[in-house]
Chain A
Amino acid sequence: MTAGAAAVKAAAVMGHMLMADALRTTPLHALHQRLGAKMAPFAGYDMPVQYRLGVLKEHLHTREKAGLFDVSHMGQAFLTTTEVEKGADGAHEKIADAIETLVPGEIRKLKRGGMRYSVLLNDAGGIVDDLMITRAAMAEGDGVLFLVVNAACKENDYRLIEETLEGRARLDPLDDRALLALQGPAAAGVLNAMIPGVADQKFMSMRPLEWDGAFVLVSRCGYTGEDGFEISIEAKNAERFAEALLAHPDVAPIGLGARDSLRLEAGLCLYGHDLTPETTPVEGNIAFAIGKRRRTEGGFPGASIIQRQLGDGPQRLRVGLEPEGRAPAREGTEILSTDGAAIGRVTSGGFGPTCEGPVAMGYVDASHAATGGEVHLVVRGKTLPARVVDMPFTPHRYFRG
C-alpha cells in the first residue's frame, strides 16, 4: 500500500532534514516530545499531529471530557492606536475605525473584553486570513485590540496591518507568549479549579487573570464546537501551566489531527482550504462576520463586491456535504450535479468520529446549494451520492450562561 500516513511521516522526516534550521518550535515542544507526540511540520513549526491516544480517541475524548491543544504557532499581537493616548476618551473608536478599514466586522460596538471572529480582506473582497479580534478588558486599555491570526499567514497579516494603518496604529507581535486551548464539556470545571471564576465567564469574552503568579489572558472561545477556553500565557510559564492542566484526569493532550476533525464536524473553516484569497465571506457562508452597520456603510476592502453578493446572492456557496455510505470524500474531490455537470469541489473532508461517518464541506454553484439537495462526489473515479446538509455536523455546545 502507499501509506498516506507513511507519506505524511516521510514528509515529516524530510521536513526535519531540509528545514531543520528553519522549523520553529513552540514553548511546549519539549513537553510534546515527553508526551510521545508524533511531530510534523505545520506552517513552519514542528507541531504534534497526534499523541499516544491517536486521532480518533483524541477527538472523542475532547467531545466527552477535555482536550488540551498547543496553538502557540498562531500569531498573537496587540494593535494600539497612535492617534490618541491609550485609555483616553474615544480611544476604542479610533482603533476600531482603523481596523475596520481592513475587516468587515462590527468592531466599534465591541464591549470591553468582547471578541469577534473576523476576516482580513483584499480589494476583491477575498479573504486574506481569518482572525479573532478582542477589545481590551479594562478602561485603561481602551485603544488596544488583541489579535490572534493563523500561523501560516502571520507575517503577511502583520505587514498588511502595519502598512495600511501606518500613522494610525502600532502593531506589537507577542512572540514571547504561548497560546493553549482547553476544549470540551469538562474544560470549565478543570480551569475553574485553577483560576476561580472562569466557569461563569461569557462566551466570546476575554479577561486578564492570574494563575500561580503568572499573568494570563483567558478567552472563552475555541475551534472545536465545544465549550472551552484559549489561554495566552508567557512562554516561560507555559509548560508548567500545561502540566498543571494535564494533571487532571479529564484532560488529555490533543494533536493537530483531531483538531482538524473536530473543527470539520463543527462546520468551521480551515484557512487556506475552506477560505482563500479567491473566496469572499459571502461565498464562504460566514456572512455573520459582516456587521449590520457595515453592510450598508461599507468602508472595508472589496465592499462593493461583497455588498452586491449580499443583495443578489453569491454565484457559489460553501455548503456541508454528507456522503452516503462510508467512503470519505477528501479535499479536492469533484462535486457533480445528478445529471453529471461539474458544480464544485470539496475543500475539507474526512471521517467524523462523533458523526461515525464521512463528512465534508465544499463550494457548489449557488443553484445547487439548497439544503437537502442531492449531488454526486467523484471518489477514486467512482460516483458516490451525497446530500447537501446544514452545518455544523455535530451541534455546537458553547457556553450560553
Chain B
Amino acid sequence: MTKYTNDHEFVREDGDVYVVGISKHAAEQLGDVVFVELPEIGKSFSKGDDMAVVESVKAASDVYAPISGEIVAANAAIVDEPAKVNEDPEGSAWFVKIKASDPAELDALMDEAAYTAFTVES
C-alpha cells in the first residue's frame, strides 16, 4: 500500500525497505523536472529532514524524509535523466529506498484516498 505525506512524498513498502519519491500530483505541479539531487547511500535521516532536491524549469523544491531511517538505495536513473520524474513519478522514477528505523511512523501518513482529498482541497 502506498502512503503520502502533506509535503507530497509517497512511501511504499518493498520487501524489508520502503521506496520513497514524489507523488504524481507533485510532479504535475512542478512541471518539467530538470535536476534531481539524491542523498548518499548509508546516510540516515529523521522524519521531516531535507533529504533530496528536485528542480523544475520554474522552481527548486526540497524533498523531505517521510520516515526516519537509513538510505539503502538511490535511483541514479533520475539524476541522469530528470525528465523521468514527470513520466513515472510513483513507479520507475522513485528517489530512494529507506530502511525504516520506526515503521510505526507510517501510521501517521495518508492513504491514497485521504491524499487525493488533500490535494483537491489544497
Residues of A within 8 A of B (CB): 1-10, 49-50, 54-57, 59, 257-258, 261, 326-328, 330, 350-351, 353, 358, 380
A50 and B62: CB pair below 8 A?
no
Verify if B22 is at the interface (C-beta below 8 Å from A): yes
A55 and B59: CB pair below 8 A?
no
B29 interface neighbour in A3, A330, A351, Cβ under 8 Å: A3
Residues of B within 8 A of A (CB): 7-9, 22, 26, 29-32, 34-35, 37, 53-64, 82, 122
CA distance A8 to B26 in the complex (A): 13
A1 and B31: CB pair below 8 A?
no
How many A-B residue contacts, CB cutoff 8 Å? 86
B58 interface neighbour in A2, A5, A10, Cβ under 8 Å: A5
B30 and A55: CB pair below 8 A?
no
9 contacts between A and B (CB under 8 A): A1-B54, A3-B59, A4-B58, A6-B8, A6-B29, A6-B61, A10-B122, A327-B37, A327-B53
Q: A1-B54, A2-B7 are in contact. Are A8 and B32 (CB under 8 A)?
A: no
CA distance A326 to B58 in the complex (A): 15
CA distance A194 to B6 in the complex (A): 51
B58 and A257: CB pair below 8 A?
yes
A351 interface neighbour in B22, B37, B57, B63, Cβ under 8 Å: B57
Chain A's nearest CB lies how many Å from the CB of B49?
Answer: 12
CA distance A353 to B56 in the complex (A): 11
A4 and B26: CB pair below 8 A?
no
Q: A55-B58, A261-B57, A328-B55 are in contact. Are A5 and B35 (CB under 8 A)?
A: no
A4 and B53: CB pair below 8 A?
no
Which of B53, B61, B63 has its CB near the most chain A CB atoms (within 10 A)?
Answer: B61
In the complex, what residues of A have CB within 8 A of residue B61's CB? 1-6
Which of A3, A6, A49, A330 has its CB near the most chain B CB atoms (within 10 A)?
Answer: A3
CA distance A350 to B59 in the complex (A): 8
A56 and B31: CB pair below 8 A?
yes
In the complex, what residues of B have CB within 8 A of residue A49's CB? 58
B57 interface neighbour in A9, A353, A380, Cβ under 8 Å: A353
Q: A1-B26, A328-B55 are in contact. Are A55 and B62 (CB under 8 A)?
A: no
B57 and A4: CB pair below 8 A?
no
A4 interface neighbour in B34, B60, B82, Cβ under 8 Å: B60
**Besides A3-B29, A54-B31, A327-B35, 19 new A-B residue pairs in contact (Cβ under 8 A), listed by A number:** A1-B61, A2-B62, A3-B30, A3-B59, A5-B30, A5-B59, A5-B61, A6-B26, A10-B122, A55-B32, A55-B56, A56-B32, A56-B34, A56-B57, A57-B32, A261-B57, A330-B60, A351-B57, A353-B57
A351 and B31: CB pair below 8 A?
no
Q: A5-B58, A7-B59, A8-B58 are in contact. Are A351 and B64 (CB under 8 A)?
A: no
CA distance A380 to B61 in the complex (A): 11
In the complex, what residues of B have CB within 8 A of residue A1's CB? 7-9, 22, 26, 54, 61-64
In the complex, what residues of A have CB within 8 A of residue B55's CB? 4, 327-328, 351
Q: A54-B31, A327-B37 are in contact. Are A5 and B8 (CB under 8 A)?
A: no
Chain B's nearest CB lies how many Å from the CB of A380?
Answer: 7
Across the A-B interface, the 5 shortest Cβ-Cβ residue pairs:
A4-B59, A56-B32, A351-B34, A55-B57, A1-B63
In the complex, what residues of A have CB within 8 A of residue B58's CB? 4-5, 8, 49, 55, 257
In the complex, what residues of A have CB within 8 A of residue B35's CB? 326-328, 351, 358
B30 interface neighbour in A4, A326, A350, Cβ under 8 Å: A4
> Nearest chain-B residue to A261 (Cβ)?
B57
Chain A's nearest CB lies how many Å from the CB of B109?
Answer: 14
In the complex, what residues of B have CB within 8 A of residue A380's CB? 53
Chain A's nearest CB lies how many Å from the CB of B115?
Answer: 14
Chain A's nearest CB lies how many Å from the CB of B101?
Answer: 21
B57 and A59: CB pair below 8 A?
yes
CA distance A9 to B61 in the complex (A): 13
A3 and B31: CB pair below 8 A?
no
CA distance A57 to B22 in the complex (A): 22
A3 and B53: CB pair below 8 A?
no
A8 and B59: CB pair below 8 A?
yes
CA distance A258 to B56 in the complex (A): 12
A5 and B22: CB pair below 8 A?
no
CA distance A328 to B7 in the complex (A): 22
Which of B31, B32, B56, B57 has its CB near the most chain A CB atoms (within 10 A)?
Answer: B57
In the complex, what residues of A have CB within 8 A of residue B56's CB? 4-5, 55
B57 and A3: CB pair below 8 A?
no
CA distance A50 to B58 in the complex (A): 10
CA distance A3 to B26 in the complex (A): 7
In the complex, what residues of B have CB within 8 A of residue A57's CB? 32
